[in-house]
Structure 1
Amino acid sequence: MSITTTHLIRAAGVSAVVAGLLFCGVQINHPPVDLAFVSTTEFAIRQTMKICFTLLSLIGITGMYLSQVRKAGALGLIGYLILGAGFIGMLTLEVAALVILPAIVHTSPDYVSAAIGVALGGRAAIDVGLLSVLNSFVGITYMAGGLVFGIALFRANVLARWASIMLAVATPLSILIPFLPFINQRLFAVPTGLALIALGSSLWLTFRSQDAVAESRSLPEPAVAR
């Protein structure tokens, strides 16, 4: 099978679906994040799922944007760049949490506690360096990028419009997370995950049908009996 642009965009759709499933799945029975949890195998597994989520989401939104560059226009480009920056920043945070925090949890528990507090939207009791700045950057770009990109997808009208609206609404609502009980914080991730699943499915189905039309046109004409 030859690799075509259509195949790559459909693969991006699959990536978005898997990303959404991971984002929803990682929230299930998620224990409170504290010093005891950081040193467990479950923490490592969940962090790995979050890292895969950010990578696959970045691939997914790239396919969504490239599938409708002209229709999305300047708003689509701006939304894609902002949301993409948010996912890259999120990837940096999740990798750092997986690699660094378990290694220093016993030697520097105060720093780990402060880092956890910052990640959950609170204030650090001690200086955590640029971690607070990076966390704020991720929050702003994730919420603003999701809003703008969702609106651009809705206006382009290539993928499922209801899923575009869900993305545009769900990501900015993350600003409420620091003010909610822990159990509700986890539920707030579900709409974004469902939006990614729906948009990824719509992307795959849209370009599957286009691929089928292109293949039918390339078939040789049947021989006419004489």
Structure 2
Amino acid sequence: MTVSGSRLTRVAGVLAALSGALYILVQPIHPAENAATVTGGAWAAVGWLTMIMAVSGLVGIVGIYLRQVRESGPTGLAGVVLFGTFYLLTWAFAFAETLVMPPLAAEAPLFVDGFLGIFSGAGTQVGLGVLPVLGPVAALLYVLGGVLFGLAIFRARVLDRRAGLLLVAGALSTLLVPLLPHAAGRYAAVPVGLAMIWLGYSLWSVERGPATDHGEPRLDTPATT
């Protein structure tokens, strides 16, 4: 069985879109982040969905980058490395929240609350070493990676350039999150999620026919003589 590069590229597009959809989905259903909620079914469901989102997003952005590797240049490489590292950190934290924190909830609730407070902004009453630093680091990777990757997509003119701009705007909107209540700040993820869906569709569609400079399939074909 031969697996073509075009088919793999379309798979990456589907995974990018799946990641964006899951990123949006988990925001309104995410339980409160404390030791009392981590043993519930909703917490486990959100955790597994987040891990799938992170893996799908990583594969998706690598596929997007490889489709335009020459056109995106160093900016695209920097963007995919930074944004990809954000997805790796997200997976690691989701893994810990889903499989490590629930068994500890009864024995060490202060530790669990402190660990979850890294991203909720609630703070911690226990020593967590360097872990609290990873929250701001992940946020920085998210913003810089999203901006650079989106700009590279816009400049490359391979995929839909408007999706690249939406990714830039979505990443920058995260800078407003500290000014909002935590529950409301979650919805800053929606523009980035929509951008990933859009980019995934654009990546999938460009493999099915000639594309314009916006990454959109042509509906017409040139006349032959």
Q: Normalising by the residue count of structure 2, what TM-score does the alignment of the two structures yield? A: 0.88
Runs of 4 or more above 3 Å deviation? none
Does structure 1 conserve the Cα–Cα contact (< 8 Å) formed by 2:151 and 2:165?
yes
Greater alpha carbon shift after TM alignment, 68-77 vs 22-31: 22-31
Code of the aligned partner of 2:85: A
How many residue pairs match? The answer is 211
Q: CA deviation at 1:122?
A: 4.4
Cα shift readout 1:69-106 (whole Å, capped 9, x = no counterpart): 11001111111111111111111111111111111011
Q: CA deviation at 1:137?
A: 2.1
Does structure 2 conserve the Cα–Cα contact (< 8 Å) formed by 1:120 and 1:178?
no
1:69-88 correspondence runs (5 A): 69-88=69-88
Structure-1 separation of matches of 2:109 and 2:187: 28
Code of the aligned partner of 2:168: A
Q: Which has the larger radius of gyration?
A: 1
Unmatched 5+ stretches in structure 2:
211-225
Task: Give the match for residue 67 of structure 1.
Answer: 67
Q: CA deviation at 1:161?
A: 1.2
Task: Give the match for residue 49 of structure 1.
Answer: 49
Task: Give the match for residue 215 of structure 2.
Answer: none
Code of the aligned partner of 1:146: G
Structure-2 separation of matches of 1:138 and 1:17: 21
Code of the aligned partner of 1:107: E
What is the root-mean-square deviation of aligned Cα atoms in Å? 1.6
Does structure 1 conserve the Cα–Cα contact (< 8 Å) formed by 2:33 and 2:117?
no
Does structure 2 conserve the Cα–Cα contact (< 8 Å) formed by 1:58 and 1:84?
yes
Structure-2 separation of matches of 1:205 and 1:157: 14
Task: Give the match for residue 132 of structure 2.
Answer: 132
Does structure 2 conserve the Cα–Cα contact (< 8 Å) formed by 1:32 and 1:182?
no
Task: Give the match for residue 20 of structure 1.
Answer: 20
Unmatched 5+ stretches in structure 1:
211-226
Task: Give the match for residue 187 of structure 2.
Answer: 187
Residue 177 of structure 2 is aligned to residue 174 of structure 1: no
